[in-house]
Structure formats: C-alpha cells, structure tokens
Amino acid sequence: MKKLFVLTIVILLLTLAGCNQSENPSSSSTGQNETANSASNGTAQPNQSDNAMAFDFDNQQVTLNSGYTMPINGLGTYSLEGEEAVQSVTAALDSGVRLIDTAYIYSNEESIGEAINQSDVPREEIFLITKLYPSQFDDAEAAIDQALERLNLDYVDMMLLHHPGSNDVEAYQAMEQAVADGKIRSIGLSNWYVEELEEFLPQVSITPALVQNEVHPYYQENDVIPYIQDLSIVVQGWYPLGGRGHTRELLGDEVITEIADVHGKSAAQVILRWNLQKGVVVIPGSSNPEHILENTQLYDFELTDEEMAAINALDRNEKHDWY
C-alpha cells in the first residue's frame, strides 16, 4: 500500500507540472523572432495562433502570424512626395488612420518619417510598412539601415520585398536577421502570387506575415487570396479603388453605385468595405483630407451576401499595373 501511495503522488505531481506548462503561452511580443529561432530546417514555419487572420472589426485590426496587431485600413502613399506626403500622412493620422504604407521606390520615406515624428500620435500606435526594391536586393542589409535612416525611426513595423527579383531570397534572409536585431517587427512580400510563393517559401525560415497584391472589383484574385490566407498570411490590397486612370470607371460602376445608395455611402466606401469583408486589408491612397477621412468610415454598415455576390460578379481579371 505504501508503494502504491508513493506512485500515486508521483503521477499527480507530473500531471500538475504538465498542466502548468500548457497554460503558459509564449508572449506575442517576441513576434517573428520565435518563428525564426524554431526553424531549423530552412523551411518557413507558420506561427499558428487562434487569433491570427480573423479581422477584429470592433477594434479595426488583425493579428498577424508574427503576434503583432495591424490596422485593417490605412493610407497608401504611392505618388505622394515632399510636403504633399507630409500633409497627407498628417491628415491621415489626424483622421484616426494608424496604418501607413510607403516604399523605397516611392522616394518619400523621408517625408513619411517627418510626418510621423512631428505627430502627437505616439509612435507605438502607428503601424508603418516600407519595402525594399529589387535594385536593393544585392545589399539588403545596408538597404534596411538606410531605410531607417531616411525614416529617422528606430524600427519599422513591417518591411516587404516589393516584388520578385534577383537575390530576393537573400534579401528576405537579411530581413529575417533584421527581425532578430529588432530593426523590423514583421516581414512580408508584395506582388507574390501562387507560383512565386510555392517556389519562394521553402527557401526561407520566417513565414511572411503579409502579402500585398493588387486587389479591386475588376481584379479580384479569387484563387490567390484563399491560397495565401490558408498559409496564415494576411492579404493586403493595393489599388483597392482601381488605380490611377481606372478609378473614375470603377467608382461609377452601376452595380457599386446602386449598393452605395442603399447604404447612404460612397462608392469608394462600398468597395473598401467589400475588401474588408473578403479579409483584405485596404490602403487607399489620397492627398485629399476629406477623401482620407471618408476612406476610414467603413465600420457602420455591412454588405449583405447578395451585395457581396453582385460585386464579386464584376471580376474581369483586369490588372491595372504590371506587377
């Protein structure tokens, strides 16, 4: 009986120890560092999370596979330069926007950094994305440091490779190291589609937190978006309103304007809401403070299944840029 009693106590202690371990989740603040450290075979390892991927419409954010949260609507800054870029980002921050997208090739990182640094909005509340262009891939480590210098910031919330190019794997690996060094919090890709991802992902250690591609009602990527999301990667859409030279036609589409009339919303708001309900983060660009504010007012209405289907039927597979 004495031996049986001792054995019972040992089993009970081991059971309690196991429970304590399972109830101590890893902290999300380590982000993609944990993913990088756990990848020992050179293959991207998704950081699975119960909260990852699902849009939180109440707080207007999504949890990335890196553990960080990102707003689901923001401001794109393509073609904005100098004082116009400063004023546009300032107007966005004043309108409650907390997601700002820029890139080396936009030639406005200095202006974006100036707006962020002079804002009263705390830096930790702003989610900043920038990108490395293929011309920088040969020395990505230096390019990362130069981006931080131009932005005049200690870190960026996310850095993407702008599109596939020579030495893109090596450039991504430099970003992985920058995550470990605390210079970048999350990393991802822009203009990568199914074939490109199938080739690329087995060569890197950290699964991208985000893939940013062209998405709008005339180019919906209905095969690409689910593929990316199934990898626990968030999708973000550029040119959500069709892009320069195409916006007027898209905003004037009768299907969209009729839905807008029903909800008392603009065509732009309907398109942006359609993206959000598809699980696509939106970064419309504008230098007009009124339009910037309008593009944030997306959470007081919801499209019906029938309205979503009507917009889905507009797909033309019509790409508006070469990426």
The residues that are catalytic are 106
Give residues with Cβ within 8 angstroms of 1, minimum separation 6: none
Report in angstroms the alpha-carbon separations of 291 from 71, 75, 243, 261, 268. 18, 11, 15, 18, 9
Structure tokens belonging to residue 253: 């589409």
Structure tokens belonging to residue 191: 């203009």
The number of beta carbons lying within 10 Å of the beta carbon of residue 291 is 15
Structure tokens belonging to residue 203: 């060569």
d(Cα 53, Cα 288) in Å, to the nearest integer? 31
Burial of 296 (0-12, 13-18, 19+ CB in 10 A): buried
CB 38 within 8 A of CB 207: no
Structure tokens belonging to residue 209: 């937190």
d(Cα 292, Cα 116) in Å, to the nearest integer? 16
d(Cα 59, Cα 296) in Å, to the nearest integer? 13
Structure tokens belonging to residue 124: 């930790």
